Amino acid sequence: YTFYPEEMETKSSGAGDYALSPNGKYIAFELRGDLFVMRNDKENKRTVRLTDHPARDQDPQWLTDSTLVFRSDREGKEELHILRSSDEGLGDLYWSFARAAEPWVSRDQMITDYALSPDRDKIVVVSEGAKMEMAEVDSTGKLEGWATLWTGWSSPGSVEWSPDGQWISYEQSDLNFNRDVFVRSIDPETEPINISMHPRRDGSAVWSPDGKKLAFTSQRNNGDYDLWMVWLQEEDYLRN
């Protein structure tokens, strides 16, 4: 043959976005625009390919132990898709021999970020045009009660839920195009709070397990990216 009809490759690096299943048994991850799943067991190296599509599939998050959400440009722009087993009587994505992906959430502009709440009963979706929305979701993927949390000129990014599912953090540019970290309640009537407020870039915030503080990256020290931490309640700051 002039070209090999099939070429096999083994990859041991380059994995991107990853997510741990709710039961802790599986890890889904992205590699070169496709999704894979493996057992959360360092002694078991078997990896299963979940998608094989010319579009880029990325940013996997588990809705249930057998349902995976991901972002893809399969329909021409970034949208949310949902992946399940199509094996009758076998819902486990790792062991299934057949899987089906279908469009789930679409917006007029491409979706740039999303995050499922810790209990996976709510979702925040960010789309181009600087719009951030929230909806309730059940285990079947049914969405209802959409509410707008933000509209403006700068799109939020790196959305993360607080452990109690009542707050979200995200990074966003101010009028000087500087990124800061914000926290806001999921109540649409409330306003966001800038908790980093520095002329250098801040972002990629992560909540502590108790929800009392945020760690984030910042360029505020000699222009290098370092990890910083902020207490969210004054009494916790004074106590420590």
Task: Supply the pTM of this predicted model.
Answer: 0.90
Cβ atoms 71, 16 nearer than 8 A: no
Kindly tell me if the per-residue pLDDT of 66 is higher than 80.
Answer: yes
Tell me the mean pLDDT in the region 11-32: 91
Tell me the mean pLDDT in the region 117-138: 95
Model confidence at 2, pLDDT cuts 50, 70, 90, reads: low
Question: Within 13 Å and on the Cβ side, how many CA atoms surround 30?
Answer: 18
Alpha-carbon distance 15 to 6, whole Å?
22
Q: What is the mean pLDDT of the chain?
A: 93
* Residue-level pLDDT at 147: 97
Query: What confidence tens digit (pLDDT) does each residue in 155-198 have?
Result: 999 999 999 999 999 999 988 889 999 999 999 999 999 999 88
Cβ atoms 185, 206 nearer than 8 A: no
* Residue-level pLDDT at 146: 97
- Length of the chain, in residues: 240
* Residue-level pLDDT at 152: 87
Alpha-carbon distance 65 to 63, whole Å?
7
Cβ atoms 103, 134 nearer than 8 A: no
Kindly tell me if the per-residue pLDDT of 1 is higher than 60.
Answer: no
* Residue-level pLDDT at 92: 94
| Letter string b/e over residues 64-96, b meaning 16 or more CB atoms within 10 A of that residue's CB | bbbbbbbbbbbeeebbbbbbbbeeeeeeebbeb
Angle made by CA atoms 231, 235, 237, in degrees to the nearest 5: 35
Query: What confidence tens digit (pLDDT) does each residue in 68-117 have?
Result: 999 999 999 999 999 999 998 889 999 999 999 999 999 999 999 999 99
* Residue-level pLDDT at 4: 67
